[in-house]
Structure 1
Amino acid sequence: MLILIMGLVIFFCVHSVRLVAPEWRASNMLQNGAMRWRIRFGMITLLATAFIIMGYMQMRMAPVWLWFPPVWTRHLAGLLMLVALFFVGSALVPNTTMKKKVGYPMLIAVKIWAFSHLISNGNLADIIVFGSFLIWSIVSFAVYRRRDRKAGVVRDQESGVQFDLAAFTFAMVSWFIMVFYLHEAVIGVSPLV
C-alpha cells in the first residue's frame, strides 16, 4: 500500500502545482524554458504512474473487499467511459464545443473515469485510487472555474461540428482499443468479463 500512496502523493503534488502555485510555475517555465519544464513534469508523472500501477497491482493480489458491486455497474461503467473518452478527445482536439463551454474537459473526463470505476469495483485499492482521483478532479475543476470567473475569462474561440466529430471519433476508436485490448493488457482485467 505504501508504494500506491507514494505514487498518488507524487502524482497529485505535481499535477496541483498549477492549481496552488500558478505564479511559481509560470516563472519557473520562463526561467528554465517550457520544454525543460514539460520534460521534468513528464518524467515525474511517469514515475508516479509506475508507482501507482505497481502499488495497485500489489494490493489486488490480496484484495480487501468492501462491497461486491452488482453486474449492471460494469455495463454502466463501460458507457460512462465512452463519455469520459469523448471529454478526453474534446480536451485534445482544438476548438471543440466542450472546451468552449466548460473550459476543462480533461478534468471532467477524470471525474467520469474515476466515478465509473468506483461504482464498478469494490475493493480497498479501487477506493483509494479512484476515490482520490475523483476528489482531486472535483476540487481542481472548482478552483479553476472560480479562478476563471474571477479573472473574467471568456472562451470565444470558434468551435465547429468537425472538431466535435473528431473528438467523438477519438472516443469511439480509443474506447474499442481500451475495451478489447488495452485494459486487459495493462491492468490484467478485461472489462468484457
Structure 2
Amino acid sequence: MIAGIDEAGRGCLAGPVYAAAVVLGPWVPDGINDSKKLSPARREALFERICASALDWSIARAEVEEIDQFDILRASLLAMQRAVAGLRSMPREAWVDGPHAPRLDCPVRTIVGGDAQEPAIMAASILAKVARDRELIRLDAYYPGYGFARHKGYGTPAHLAALRRLGPCALHRRSFSPCAAQVQGRLEVCAPPLGDDRATSAPAAGANVAGNA
C-alpha cells in the first residue's frame, strides 16, 4: 500500500495542474517509464493498463485560479492532496516525485528524479500527463488559435506568438510573466463548461477524476 504521486503541467503557461496517486499491484505494466520519455501513443496505452491493473488510483487537479492565487508550487501540492484523498483508503506511505511534500495523513517520502526510479511514481506521472493532455485537447475547441491541442499549454514559440497576437484567455495563468505582460487592454474569453466524459475531462476543484471503485 505505497502510493506513487506525481504532477503534470507545473511548467505550463495555461491550464490546470494535474496530479495522480497510484498504488500498483504485484503486476507492473511492461514498458512503464517516466511519462516524458514515452510517446503519446505509448502513454495512452499504458494509461489504460495502469487503470486496469493498479490496486488503487486517483487523478485530481488544481485550477488556474488557484495557481494564480496560491502560486504553482502550492497548487501542485494541493492537487496531490486531492489525488490521495480520492483513493479508496489512505496508503501506508506516499512516495512523491521531487523535493516537495504535500501534507498527508501518512508518511511521505520525497524522491528527486523519482519518476525515473520508482514504478509507482512512473505510473502516477503517466496518469497525470495523459489526463491533462486529454483536457487540453478538449479545451482547444473552446479557445481556437492558441494551439492547445499541440503544445498542451507549454511555452513553445508558437504558443508565445499566439499569446502576443490574441492576448491571454481564461486558461492562461496570469501570475506567469509571459501572460501577465499581455493582460493590459485585452478582453478575456469566457470559460467553457466542463465535459461529462470522465475519461477525457477533469472534475471541479476538490474532486478526483476517477479511481478504482
- TM bucket (normalised to shorter chain) is under 0.3
TM-score by length of 2: 0.23
Decide which structure has the larger Cα Rg and report it: 1
TM-score by length of 1: 0.24
Please state which structure has a larger fraction of its residues in helix. 1
Please state which structure has a larger fraction of its residues in strand. 2
> Which of the pair has the greater relative contact order for Cα pairs under 8 Å at 6+ separation?
2
